[in-house]
A and B are shown apart, each in its own frame.
Chain A
């Protein structure tokens, strides 16, 4: 940086900034963007508010009282949900947690390996591989559910925990993100320095590169966690035993009970409300990892 530039903007001695050169520019509120953002926030938050309020309503109040008037049935809804088929809801919740935590962890590990390798090593077919991955990013996972089912059926793995976990471990988007992040956060010089000091490639990766990649990997983990938690079609096709259902499928079966049985609206709404809590909690807890300076690198330029 040039010192000249600094001098230029420095106020003359003896004056206090903001008085000699007139009042500081008042920050003008940009009206249109603000309104747009507020509307967007409203659009996103209204359904959440609806779920929260509706979960407090008893069956009689649900459709008869004002939409945003809290009801009196929350405790009753909770105990009904608890009692429904001997608490199968909590089984679904546990399954969802298992699929999401384990799946996201494994997926993050695989993504970090693949992303680091693609970013650091030069080898033949690297670009092709990366392009194929990019194509994978563009492919909606929904399309793959049925082929994956047929594939796992060959291996006799359908209707097992693995059938939901395995297909979600390899996430093209996760690998893509890891590669981009590793390329930006792990400078080639650092890797080179590690090699000079005689560290093995494994050691360089785990001791030097991995800590640098943490903020990016947290993002991958979160994305995968949310994707698996909300996934519907894959477990729907794979699983037939409702003891292995994740929460999305479980709530669906509560809604679709056949024409002659009323949908269990209060249970579904309360269940949906409870199912959102872990996601919100996760975001609040993990958020602080993002505040790490994205470029807290070891190299000065």
Chain B
């Protein structure tokens, strides 16, 4: 995981590998949370939503453990260079993952409310696609982390634009729904928050990918990444 060369002190390698394995494990849990959260929303499956909310506890625990292990490794092994970047990245990625997990939990929470309401037709498809896109991005980010694949990480950073565009489209869609029929407002507000959550997930995954670029190259990527979220400049439906 740390490249071809090993530390003379093999226990150090074990520590580094263990902490990275925890990130992968955590990433897997968060991926599941995104997938299941979206599925529960689309299928109006409150049981699944409940499971997603419960599973978030493990993600939080893992984050705490990763932070503890990272602190321990810094204290005991005094990491430098790549090792230091691994530890720093791991702390940041764990934090981001935890946030992503929270958003997924939030989706599941809203699902329980939405399930009681009249379904809004048409938005599910886009939301699902968006969530799948974010999930794929997360998966690729984790792959890039494992393989130290800078190109893949940069690709993920660029793909965030698509998610943003999908969010823009949904934003307009929800506005339209709400203007059409005020009874849709509650559901649409929830759905909008869900969409916003997914969009934020995309941003967080992008941050993780940037962290991986930093991990592999030692420097942060330029700030001029493409940004697609233009809802802040919208004043209404034309």
Chains A and B come from one and the same complex: no
Residues of A whose CB lies within 8 Å of any CB of B are none
Q: Using CB atoms and an 8 Å cutoff, list the residues of chain B in contact with chain A.
A: none
